Amino acid sequence: MCRHLAWLGEPRTLASLVLEPSHGLLRQSYAPRRQSRGLLNADGWGVGFFADGRPEPVRWRSARPLWGDASFVSVAPVLASGAVLAAVRSATEGMPMDESAAAPFTDGQWLLSHNGRVDRSVLPARGDAESVCDSAVLAAHVFAAGVGALAPTVCEVARLDPAASLNLLLTDGSRILAVTWGDPLSYLEDADGVVVASEPWDDDPRWVDVPDRHLLEVTPDGVTRTALEG
């Protein structure tokens, strides 16, 4: 399973979000602490973020492991944003290994990352998916259904594929939406903002674990969580 995180709050450098936390995504790419399937997340990685004056997000994605991306390490200390989504990938068997299969995916407005797997045959075929990777097809399905319908869309996909694992993170720059379905998420709220992550990036006791089958919404007003119907 992949590992991912989203940040909403005061602008922070990508280095401080992705590379510097002691148990952050960089560490999780080779030594995750709470990962139930897979030992490494070395099959590519990606980060998307919103920049001032641009409504649509920008992305940096790679098919290489995060720890080998020396150019990103060089620029990450000077790239800052108040809305960021990043993921390190452990590819599901049979899925493509190129950069286009690395999250985050986008429809031009939203960024989406999926930790898990889903049977693509239960999803409508979509020519606008960024990759044939199950996560990209799922992203295209969520975008087509409308992000406002995220909860019923997830419940319907889970009904069609009961073995699916559907841990999702989305942001449009003004809020984060997150779903736990088969894999956990945790969040940490402080004066500067909120980070939602597959696993805590440090041992701060303020991290809160989100129960399974929940929708989390993070806005500048705070965090709300709602149980999803099975």
Minimal distance, residue 136 CB to ligand GLN, in Å: 8
For 172, phi then psi, to 5°, come to: -115, 15
How far is 197 from 3, CA to CA, in rounded Å? 8
Rounded to a whole number of angstroms, the minimum distance from the CB of residue 100 to ligand GLN is 11
Nearer to ligand GLN, 77 or 124 (CB): 124
For the record, the structure tokens of 29 come out as 């790419």
Cβ density class 132-154: b for 16+ within 10 Å, e for less? ebbbbbbbbbbbebebeebbebb
For ligand GLN, the binding residues (CB under 6 A) are 1-2, 89-92, 95, 101, 114-117, 133-135
Q: In the annotation, is 133 catalytic?
A: no
Question: How many Å apart are CA 29 and CA 21, to the nearest integer?
Answer: 13
8 A C-beta contact, residue 176 and residue 122: no
Q: Which two tokens stand for residue 52?
A: 């001032």
* Side-chain half-sphere CA neighbours of 127 within 13 A: 0
Residue 178 CB, shortest distance to ligand GLN, in Å, is 14
Beta carbon of residue 13, minimum distance to ligand GLN (angstroms, whole number): 26
Distance CA 230, CA 154 (A): 9
Q: How far apart are CA 52 and CA 37, in angstroms?
A: 38
The nearer residue to ligand GLN, 81 or 153, going by C-beta atoms, is 153
Nearer to ligand GLN, 84 or 138 (CB): 138
For residue 211, the Cα-to-chain-centroid distance in whole angstroms is 17
Give the residue with the Cβ less far from ligand GLN, 69 or 134: 134
Q: Least distance to ligand GLN from the beta carbon of 180, Å?
A: 13
Contacts of 68 (CB under 8 A, 6+ apart): none
Query: Of these residues, 1, 2, 26, 88, which one is catalytic?
Result: 2
* Pick 80 or 157: Cβ nearer ligand GLN: 157
Tell me the catalytic residues.
2
